[in-house]
Every structure is written in structure tokens, then in C-alpha cells.
């Protein structure tokens, strides 16, 4: 049975968090530092300096002073982010804290390349270039679809619950390979945080009233299917109390409802299609866009 990496088999960069000096990246750094410490893996703070362009194709001719100032600003952003790390965990963290500045490269390809040797990529929901009112920035949206490892999207909205640190971790389960990885991540996160796990199984993204009339005990069937999927994991993590939730339709809505009562939601990057399919790619995308609290999208190479 697969599981999330331990400190002994962690990849080179551990947890990678992208920073650009925006308020959203500060929230992302805070969350990433705490999560890296929980996982006992390195934390790598990354800032990408993109090429200077005008429009879509034209490279902007600039003086050498421009690049000196740009690199100076990049160092300021990273230094500020490292200060946030100290605020989040301690001035003497027990995990390696590294930083990296990638020059003259588009942000998404740079982060995707780093993700090949990374346990988890963490990004804020919106960066400095975000459009007011947009639920998820272009960078975070692209990374959710392209990285070679799981991606955590950290939203900077105030949580509805008074003490989210004691709230459970929630996971969407549909039996697909992506949801199996999501289950592994969710159990690991719940165990390290010392909280319960809520496993949500939505057995259809829409309900056919005609078909439903010929199926008896839908809830019982769903509970049995979910228990089957969880059996090996509950044995592996006996310290995690699991609550099973079975719904019959609208997986995105059901997961978003559960996220309001959770400190973290984990979903697969894509699921099965058809009647037995639960978490479609559109569902995980909708959840990552609209949730108020952190969402991990379980991706792998």
C-alpha cells in the first residue's frame, strides 16, 4: 500500500512554497512551514523572476540596472518569507529551511520542474498579479493541473470556525488511483495533526431519478463501499478516528460543505467517469477554486 513520504524517503526539496511578496503568499508560507515541520521534511522557499516581456511575445530591452534591482527585490522577498517561516515555527526550526531564486523563467514551468523532486508544492490562492474578485490565480490554477506531486492551495479568507486547528481533515474518496493517493495524504495529515478524519463518498455526480427508483438501500451500499476503501488505511493508522459520510449527488457541493467544518480538504486530481465516478477533474478544480480553507489536490507523475 502506498503512503506519503516519511522523513527518511523525502524528496530533495521537501515542501516547496512559492512566494511573491503578496498577502496570499504569506499565508501560504505560514501553512507550508507548519506542514513541513509536521512531516519532518525540508522546507524550500522559492521565488521565480520571470522574463521581462511586453505583451505576449516581445522581450523588453532593459538596462543592467533593471536586472540588479529586480534581483535585489527578489532577495528582499525571500528574506521576508524566511522571516515568516521563523514566525510560523521557530527561530531555530528542527527541519532544514532552504531558499531558491529562479531567474528569467516563467513561474509555472519553473515550479513544475521543481515539483519532480518535491513532496508537496504550496501556493497562495492569488498572487500580486491576481485580478480582484478572481477566486484562484492563474499560477495556482495551472499548478493544480501540471505538477508532478500534490499541490496545496492556501486560501487567505478567514475561517468560519473559531478554532480550525482542532477541526478534522476531510477527504473525498471514489476508488480511483488519484483518490487512493488523496486518502494516503489525508490519513497522514490527520495522524500528524492529531485530529479526526472525515471520509466523504459521493457515488454520483448527478442522480437519475428513474435509476434511483430501482436501487434499494443506496446509503447502505455507499457505506459498505466506503468502508471497503478505508479498511487498509484504518488498520495502518489506528490513531485516526474516521467518520464516514455518504452522499448521493453533487460531489463538489458536498465536499465544499464539508470543508467549512474542516481544517484541510484533500481531493484527487481526477476521478472516474460515469455513474460510479465520484471526483471528476471538474470537481477537484471547483473545490480548489471555491473552498475557504486549504485544499490539497493529490497529483503524481
Q: Are 202 and 278 in contact (CB under 8 A)?
A: yes
- Residue 3 inside a domain? The answer is no
* Tens digits of residue pLDDT in 19-72: 998 888 899 999 999 999 999 999 999 999 988 764 555 566 667 788 788 889
Q: Does residue 294 share a domain with residue 205?
A: yes
What residues make up the domain containing 77? Answer: 15-154
What is the model's pLDDT at position 3? 53
What is the model's pLDDT at position 131? 41
Q: Specify the CATH number for the domain of residue 216.
A: 3.40.50.12370
CA-to-CA distance for 111 and 98, rounded, in angstroms?
Answer: 15
- Residue 6 inside a domain? The answer is no
In this prediction, the residues of the chain whose per-residue pLDDT falls under 70 are 1-10, 53-62, 126-136, 157-162, 204-218, 270-281
- Residue 9 inside a domain? The answer is no
* DSSP alpha helix (H) spans, the chain: 23-39, 64-88, 107-114, 138-146, 177-193, 209-212, 218-236, 251-259, 281-290
pTM to 2 decimals?
Answer: 0.86
Q: Does residue 205 share a domain with residue 145?
A: no
CA-to-CA distance for 63 and 232, rounded, in angstroms?
Answer: 60
Number of structural domains the chain divides into: 2
What is the model's pLDDT at position 225? 82
Q: 99, 132, 154: which is the final residue of a domain?
A: 154
- Residue 198 inside a domain? The answer is yes
Amino acid at each position: 500500500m502506498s503512503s506519503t513520504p516519511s522523513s527518511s524517503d523525502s524528496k530533495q526539496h521537501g515542501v516547496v512554497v512559492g512566494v511573491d511578496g503578496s498577502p496570499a503568499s504569506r499565508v501560504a508560507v505560514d501553512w507550508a512551514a507548519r506542514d513541513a515541520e509536521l512531516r519532518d521534511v525540508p522546507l524550500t522557499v522559492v521565488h521565480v523572476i520571470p522574463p521581462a516581456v511586453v505583451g505576449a511575445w516581445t522581450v523588453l530591452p532593459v538596462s543592467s540596472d533593471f536586472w540588479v534591482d529586480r534581483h535585489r527585490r527578489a532577495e528582499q522577498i525571500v528574506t521576508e518569507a524566511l522571516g515568516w517561516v521563523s514566525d510560523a515555527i521557530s527561530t531555530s526550526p528542527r527541519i532544514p529551511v532552504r531558499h531558491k531564486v529562479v531567474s528569467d523563467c516563467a513561474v509555472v514551468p519553473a515550479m513544475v520542474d521543481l515539483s519532480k523532486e518535491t513532496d508537496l508544492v504550496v501556493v497562495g490562492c492569488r498572487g500580486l498579479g491576481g485580478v480582484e474578485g478572481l477566486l484562484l490565480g492563474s499560477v495556482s490554477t495551472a499548478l493544480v493541473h501540471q505538477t508532478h506531486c500534490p499541490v496545496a492551495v492556501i486560501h487567505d479568507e478567514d475561517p468560519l470556525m473559531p478554532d480550525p486547528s482542532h477541526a478534522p481533515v476531510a477527504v473525498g474518496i471514489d476508488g480511483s488511483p488519484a483518490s487512493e493517493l488523496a486518502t494516503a495524504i489525508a490519513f497522514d495529515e490527520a495522524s500528524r495533526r492529531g485530529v479526526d478524519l472525515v471520509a466523504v463518498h459521493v457515488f454520483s455526480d448527478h442522480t437519475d431519478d428513474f435509476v434511483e427508483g430501482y436501487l434499494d438501500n443506496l446509503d447502505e451500499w455507499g457505506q459498505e463501499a466506503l468502508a471497503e476503501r478505508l479498511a487498509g488505511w484504518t488498520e495502518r493508522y489506528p490513531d485516526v478516528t474516521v467518520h464516514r459520510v455518504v452522499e448521493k449527488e453533487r460531489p463538489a457541493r458536498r465536499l465544499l460543505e464539508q470543508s467549512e467544518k474542516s481544517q484541510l480538504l484533500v481531493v484527487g486530481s481526477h476521478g472516474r467517469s460515469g455513474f460510479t465516478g465520484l471526483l471528476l477533474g471538474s470537481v477537484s478544480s471547483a473545490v480548489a477554486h471555491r473552498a475557504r480553507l486549504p485544499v490539497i489536490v493529490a497529483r503524481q507523475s
